Structure 1
């Protein structure tokens, strides 16, 4: 696969026939995709916790009460004890990776502390864990019609209601995901 065909900074949408409970009806934002594999964050699977619980676990003082009520996501089945913050680019965080010119992925404590103080990124999504694929694995799953790739949309990533993201991501390319049957997808 050449670099032009990598799916960095795109969504992959679980096809209706993908029955794996970790990915059923999910939208995953791909942060890194190359010859060695892929890493993404599921953006429509809320955890049963709010950001305030993470602040408490990390002994972080909160001066922005709004931040405490932000939903935390299950970013994927890998390393669910680790936190990941997808956010609009900006700030000088200790462990941050630019995914695109406008989106970054940060794993350091300083971004969480800034969010608690109301000084963090303008738009952000906090997730526990990530979705990962080994060399060639995602490509094989794409060929097996498990996933549909679509462009990234910051509106879907940060502003669309969580339960509407799966349909909204597919709708970007004119597809009603609920109308697809098992044989649909890539040929």
Structure 2
């Protein structure tokens, strides 16, 4: 039996198994922003909040929605985007998908209308794993690893994202996408 966990790279998606049992990550899809032997940093892509960027940052128009990036340090703000032409110091995760960058440039671009929610997402908090923790969870098959395009990530409605990623993977994953939240109701 092979217990070696699958290899995770920056820009990969971690898709929660349908019956994970962890309320922080139920039916979540996490974008891996940084994975190294020291640990992993990621952002939950499909947990929208009722909070807007203007609730936590002054002088920003229009008001963009905030997502819960994870249960760790929910007093921090993070962002991903697909506009490195507007945002210096961005970190490339994969073709067309970037993390972080110059926040003053982001504020200017949002305020003048050259950057919209079609191209950037903001997150409060993050998801983090210490050294070896994610590998242990992968060995226990708590997560499915996949990838996606920036277009799919930004253009797919939040409520459909978990199912949408699995459906695009096809095969057995397409079936998993239709599992009910509570298997007793099947």
Q: What's the TM-score once normalised by structure 2's chain length?
A: 0.80
Distance 1:80 1:59 in 2: 18
Return the match for 2:29 from 12, 20, 27.
27
Counterparts of residues 28-177 of structure 1 (less than 5 Å): 28-54=30-56, 58-62=57-61, 67-68=62-63, 70-91=64-85, 93=87, 96-106=90-100, 108-110=102-104, 111-120=106-115, 123-174=119-170, 175=173, 176-177=175-176
Q: Does 1:6 align with 2:1?
A: no
Q: What is the Cα deviation at residue 107 of structure 1?
A: 5.8
SS at match of 1:12: strand
Number of residue-to-residue matches in the alignment = 170
Distance 2:42 2:101 in 1: 13
Deviations 1:102-127 (A, max 9, x none): 21111653123422332337611111
CA distance 1:53–1:117, shift in 2 (3 Å)? farther
Q: Which 4+ residue blocks in structure 1 deviate beyond 2 angstroms?
A: 4-7, 50-54, 91-98, 119-122, 176-181
Distance 1:136 1:37 in 2: 7
Q: What is the Cα deviation at residue 161 of structure 1?
A: 0.8
CA distance 1:40–1:72, shift in 2 (3 Å)? same
Distance 2:120 2:22 in 1: 27
Q: What's the TM-score once normalised by structure 1's chain length?
A: 0.80
Q: What is the Cα deviation at residue 92 of structure 1?
A: 5.8
Task: Work out whether residues 96 and 149 of structure 2, in 8 Å CA contact, stay in contact via their aligned partners in 1.
Answer: no
Distance 1:127 1:161 in 2: 16
- Unmatched 5+ residue regions in structure 2? 1-5, 181-186
